[in-house]
Amino acid sequence: MDRIQRNMSLTGEPPKTLNTTQKIATLWGMIGLAILLLAGFNLDFPNKGIWLVVSLLSITGGIILFAKGAYGNELEGIKNHGVWFKSVSSRGFWGWISGIALTGFYVILYFYAEFLGLNANGENTGVIALFDPLSRILSGNPASQWFVYGTLYTIAIFAFGIKFIWKYRHNRYERIRTMSVMFFQTAFAFLIPEFMARLNASEAYNLPYYDLKSVWPLNYYLFDSYSLDGLLSSGNLGLYMLIFGVASIFIITPILTFKYGKRWYCSWVCGCGGLAETAGDPFRHLSDKSTFAWKVERWVIHSVLVFALVMTTALVSTYLGNDPNAYWLTKDVFLIGVGVFLTLLFAAIWFFKRDALKKDARYGAISYFVIIIALLGIHYGSGNDNIFLFEASTLRQWYGFLIGAIFSGVIGTGFYPIFGSRVWCRFGCPMAAILGIQQRLFSRFRITTNGGQCISCGNCSTYCEMGIDVRAYAQKGENIVRASCVGCGICSAVCPRGVLKLENGPMDDRIDANQVLLGNDVDLMTLVNKK
Amino acid sequence: MEHIVIIGNGISGVTAARHIRKLSDKRITIISAETDYFFSRTALMYIYMGHMKYEHTKPYEDWFWKKNSIELKRGFVKEVKHSEKKLLFSDGDILSYDKLILAVGSKSNKFGWPGQDLDGVQGLYSFQDLQNLEHNAPNNKICRRAVIVGGGLIGIELAEMLHTRGIPVTFLVRESSFWNGVLPSGESEMINRHIKNHHIDLRLGVNLKEILADENGKARAVVVAETGEEIPCQLVGLTAGVTPNIDFLKDSGIELGRGIKVNRFLETNVPDVYAIGDCAEQHQAIGNRRPIEAVWYTGRMMGETVAQTLCGNRIEYNPGHWFNSAKFFDIEYQTYGWVNSDNRKPDYEEHFHWLHPDDTKCITVATHRDNGTFLGINTFGIRMRHEVFDKWLTEERSTDYVIEHLRKANFDPEFYKTFEKDIISAYSNQTVNA
């Protein structure tokens, strides 16, 4: 870059500059944040309800006005101008500052909620107290740090969702998908659990917080003893909810994933996905596309899945106990059931889909299968009550700390501006791992490559939040069938030549690895495709 | 072991290298004066616009070449000595080859305009051109206006690029309507309007007379031939097409025309020397194609073909049905088969044109007047399936059939509005009228 003189001015030039609307919007949003911050520093606002409304409206309004400034005067189309010039979206100064701020927020949220003003034995103070009025309206209870977080989370998905819709307003798939995540977050993750908490005012109910769309193993606390106790002591409703939770895993999820791929969940319903797709959208291109990262991804995410599986099995079996009179399902029956189920599943995949597994997938599958079965065997052989060598509660604690808090929260969201928006979904989420295995092996979903039209430009790979090197497939004329693809549709949107289309179709020839690069002589392609 | 040397690390040369590697264990060396690694030339615009960085435009990670034992050499070949099978480099290096593939690409056309070599005047083809652009037009303070000369695919890309940096652009197009040597008038006019909607100062039917210099030898203005108007500017983009980059072969004994003359086997007149991609010129044009095809896709096809030949299976370059694509600001364009512009259209070619009221989508279908056979389609703002049109062209379907089954060819994302109904009704109305 010998002849290029880098501009050192702080304001920058187009497309980096903020226009007047965007500056006003930023100021407005910051005022909203400042109110929260002041409350956090224990400034005691009178009329908390009003200040809360002012704050939340300012944040929402600021974001929406910012979007208007960014996209309102542009013709519709892909406008990623300056994404790699702007400091916040290219791991520059502001990128690091926001990463550190977000990470700090998550550390406080998970481990030092008292700094937010949480007071279990009395009146809340600080920022949590500011949210008390809203919490009382919804659930009748004072706020907790999780209510504060849930409210801000929902606002982020809502306001950044509008920004996203504005940005991709020419793309109906993106519009509808974003409205879907906005709806599921607001209704299922936020409002319904708050309203359900009102039922607990009556003696007959003891419902735990339960976001119905959050499926095990993402929702790893579903099988905690307090959660099971709560559901089982809340009449038919509680029982139905538990049945729904189990059905989600074994019936609903496999059917929908077979028909539509994992996108029905990961980019249409899920809250983590929802935040990544909306607030995380400005950072989607920061994901690592190297084959090395892909290798790490496969080992890490499936290890988390095994961890979740072992932890939950231990937890449930401990809960059940050995007394057939307490539960018809005893610990032994349950453990044998798990063993049989996993063996059958493993055998089925091995029998039908072995050819689809690469070498390391086979090693991984075999070794994890052996480990799990061995753990079950050790348990029976030793008669030790500590299932899987550790106490179930210890496993649960470690899982909650390492995976639930550190991985999905602090790293997963806090590092958006550094690693991209889907770090958790890609490397950590055990639910995504299950859906991914199914999507890779038993699903109608694929991204179709349009004949020979690819020009290898790299927009698809760059803007893939899951770090899939989409171009590597597209330039070969091969359809993309990858476990990690969440079906966000952005590769197709940013493609300048109309090469990619997400679709559901027959399983036969889904990958179509020997696709004729059309436009070539047929005889030549026979030769080219010869192995 | 036979040593195959490829000059040029663009799509043609790299495709040839990859396929030779698939078919053999010959020693392969790729030479480039441009960059260390293969990158997608078509993506240069996205680097300037900030959509991507240079490394994102590399289709293969850097370890790929070593792993596949494809040697890369950075250097500029100044002479091919085919009698000794040697290449001489500008830095004095010498490299021997057994087989040589010339995949040297193009350079921007310059038609002898006064001032065309001034500082601040450039084309847009190579990585160095991109660096020059970053130097000449980093922002709208240093470059307060740019003038682009030549209304083709690169010209409109350059206009889009400069527009993202807030640089006002005057776009001088020789033709009476944008790219109407290729596009039928309905499409060309729609793109005219789209260009203007992006606030580009589009001037149709005008030529460049000369480029004026300031006291430092930098371009300061252009003069329009027709009006004599002087347009002050700090950047002049010359985008009036490209021409094979073959100056270094002038005295090599390799037969040259506008490009490197090759037969259908992509062989030059010199044994063991082949030419592929932008720089190759067929003795006889193939079908409706031009003798020189400076297109990504044809470069790729020639690379695959020559690899077969070099690995013992001598076959002709025999491209299938024509296809191409581009993007004009926000409007995607695809073409399958042949749809000729108004002035190139043979007598037998009839057009059906449909334009969406929002003025960003249209299609043109070409039909053989005598038998109603479908000849080709241009589609703007609606994605179509390559595979389906390729099949229909092979089956020599009628246009009636194509229009009726157009839904099958739609490749737009899910949930998109479809327009087949409108198109079918427009089509049947015009048939009734005719």
Residue A172's pLDDT band, with cuts at 50, 70 and 90, is very high
Compute how many other C-beta atoms are within 10 angstroms of the C-beta atom of residue A270. 29
Residues of A with Cβ-Cβ distance to B325 under 8 angstroms: 453, 455, 497-498
Q: Which chain A residue lies closest to B60 (C-alpha atoms)?
A: A472
Cα B380 from Cα B361, distance rounded (Å): 5
> Got the DSSP string for B380-408?
ESS-B-HHHHHHHHHTT-BHHHHHHTHHH
Compute how many other C-beta atoms are within 10 angstroms of the C-beta atom of residue A173. 21
Give the DSSP H or E segment for B335: strand B331-337
Interface contact B197-A75, CB threshold 8 A: yes
CA angle A162, A271, A276 (to 5 degrees): 60
B97 close to B85: Cβ distance less than 8 angstroms:
yes
CA dihedral (A27, A32, A33, A38) in degrees, to 10, reads 120
Domains and CATH numbers, chain A: 17-74+112-195 (no CATH), 444-529 (3.30.70.20)
Of the listed ranges A250-254, A404-408, B148-152, the one predicted with least confidence: A404-408
Of the listed ranges A417-431, A433-447, A469-483, A502-516, the one predicted with least confidence: A502-516
Residue B360's pLDDT band, with cuts at 50, 70 and 90, is very high
End-to-end CA distance of chain A: 41
- A497, HSE (Cβ side, Cα atoms, 13 Å): 26
Cα A91 from Cα A97, distance rounded (Å): 9
The pair of structure tokens assigned to A276 is 């990544």
- Taking all residues of chain A, what is their mean pLDDT, rounded to a whole number? 90
Cβ-based burial of A415 (10 A; exposed 0-12, middle 13-18, buried ≥19): buried
Residues of A with Cβ-Cβ distance to B140 under 8 angstroms: 13-14
The pair of structure tokens assigned to B140 is 């709208």
Interface contact B320-A519, CB threshold 8 A: yes
Interface contact B413-A455, CB threshold 8 A: no
The pair of structure tokens assigned to B326 is 């581009």
Q: Which of B56, B53, B19, B374 is nearest to A456 (CA)?
A: B56
Q: Which chain A residue lies closest to B130 (C-alpha atoms)?
A: A1
Compute how many other C-beta atoms are within 10 angstroms of the C-beta atom of residue A336. 13
Q: What pLDDT shows up at residue A409?
A: 87
Q: Which of A505, A417, A488 is nearest to A270 (CA)?
A: A488
Residue A1's pLDDT band, with cuts at 50, 70 and 90, is very low
DSSP B119: B
Residue B112 makes CB contacts below 8 A (sequence gap 6+) with: none
Mean pLDDT, rounded, for A109-132: 88
Given a cut of 50, whether residue B228 has pLDDT beyond it is yes
Distance from CA of B60 to the nearest CA of A (A): 8
Interface contact A458-B315, CB threshold 8 A: no
Cα B317 from Cα B266, distance rounded (Å): 7
Interface contact B49-A472, CB threshold 8 A: no
Cα A120 from Cα A146, distance rounded (Å): 13
Q: Which of A496, A510, A509, A414 is nearest to A458 (CA)?
A: A496
- B3-107+243-310 against B121-240: fold identical: yes
Distance from CA of B36 to the nearest CA of A (A): 13
Per domain, the residue ranges of chain B are: 3-107+243-310, 121-240, 323-433
Residue type (1 letter), A13: E
User: Could you say which of B50, B322, B332 has the minimum Cβ distance to residue A497?
Assistant: B332
pLDDT tens digits, one per residue of B306-324 = 999 999 999 999 999 999 9
Does the N-terminal peptide bond of residue A217 adopt cis geometry, omega within 30 degrees of 0?
A: yes
A511 close to A478: Cβ distance less than 8 angstroms:
yes
pLDDT tens digits, one per residue of A77-103 = 999 999 999 999 999 999 999 999 999
Three-class SS state of A455 = coil
Provide the residue count of chain B. Answer: 434
pLDDT tens digits, one per residue of A15-73 = 888 999 999 999 999 999 999 999 988 888 889 999 999 999 999 999 999 999 999 99
Q: Which of A117, A110, A106 is nearest to A43 (CA)?
A: A117
Residues of B with Cβ-Cβ distance to A89 under 8 angstroms: none
A403 close to A304: Cβ distance less than 8 angstroms:
yes
Map tokens 């449930």 to a residue: A316
Does the N-terminal peptide bond of residue A15 adopt cis geometry, omega within 30 degrees of 0?
A: yes
Q: Which of A480, A456, A461 is nearest to A420 (CA)?
A: A461
DSSP B410: B
Strand positions, DSSP E, A421-499: 445-449
Distance from CA of B426 to the nearest CA of A (A): 24
Q: What pLDDT shows up at residue A531?
A: 60
Q: What pLDDT shows up at residue A513?
A: 65
User: Could you say which of A459, A471, A492 has the minimum Cβ distance to residue B51?
Assistant: A459
Cα A433 from Cα A427, distance rounded (Å): 9
Distance from CA of A384 to the nearest CA of B (A): 51
Three-class SS state of B55 = helix
Residues of B with Cβ-Cβ distance to A8 under 8 angstroms: none
Strand positions, DSSP E, A202-255: none
Cα A281 from Cα A275, distance rounded (Å): 9
Q: What pLDDT shows up at residue A120?
A: 75
Q: What pLDDT shows up at residue B243?
A: 97
The pair of structure tokens assigned to B350 is 């009839």
The pair of structure tokens assigned to A366 is 């075999």
Higher-confidence position of A159 and A530: A159
Mean pLDDT, rounded, for B282-303: 95
β pairing state of B201-204 and B169-173 = parallel
Cα A76 from Cα A434, distance rounded (Å): 37
β pairing state of B169-173 and B260-262 = unpaired
Whether the predicted interface score ipTM is above 0.85: yes
Residues of A with Cβ-Cβ distance to B132 under 8 angstroms: 3
- Report yes or no: B386 at the A interface, CB cutoff 8 Å: yes
Q: What pLDDT shows up at residue A281?
A: 97
Looking at domain B3-107+243-310, which of 3.30.390.50, 1.10.1660.10, 3.50.50.60, 3.20.20.140 is its CATH number?
A: 3.50.50.60
Cα A160 from Cα A279, distance rounded (Å): 5
Give the DSSP H or E segment for A4: none
Provide the residue count of chain A. Answer: 531
Given a cut of 50, whether residue B434 has pLDDT beyond it is no
Cα B360 from Cα B331, distance rounded (Å): 7
B323 close to A518: Cβ distance less than 8 angstroms:
yes
Q: What pLDDT shows up at residue A322?
A: 78
Cα A302 from Cα A112, distance rounded (Å): 30
- Chains A & B: contacts with CB separation below 8 Å: 192
Residue A132 makes CB contacts below 8 A (sequence gap 6+) with: A48, A124, A142, A143
A105 close to A113: Cβ distance less than 8 angstroms:
no
- Taking all residues of chain B, what is their mean pLDDT, rounded to a whole number? 96
Interface contact B330-A517, CB threshold 8 A: no
Percent of chain A with pLDDT over 70: 95
Interface contact A498-B42, CB threshold 8 A: no
CATH topology for B121-240 is FAD/NAD(P)-binding domain (3.50.50)
Cβ-based burial of A359 (10 A; exposed 0-12, middle 13-18, buried ≥19): exposed
Test mutation, B126, B414, B417, chain A, max A CBs within 10 A: B414
Strand positions, DSSP E, A450-490: none
**Buried b / exposed e along B47-86 (16+ C-beta atoms within 10 A):** bbbbbbbbebbbbbbeeebeeeebebbebebeebebeebe
Given a cut of 80, whether residue A10 has pLDDT beyond it is no
- CATH architecture group of domain B323-433: 2-Layer Sandwich (3.30)
Residues of B with Cβ-Cβ distance to A456 under 8 angstroms: 11, 40, 42-43, 59
**CA R_g for chain B:** 23
Max alpha carbon distance in chain B (Å)?
72
The pair of structure tokens assigned to A292 is 């090395």
pLDDT tens digits, one per residue of B404-419 = 999 999 999 999 999 9
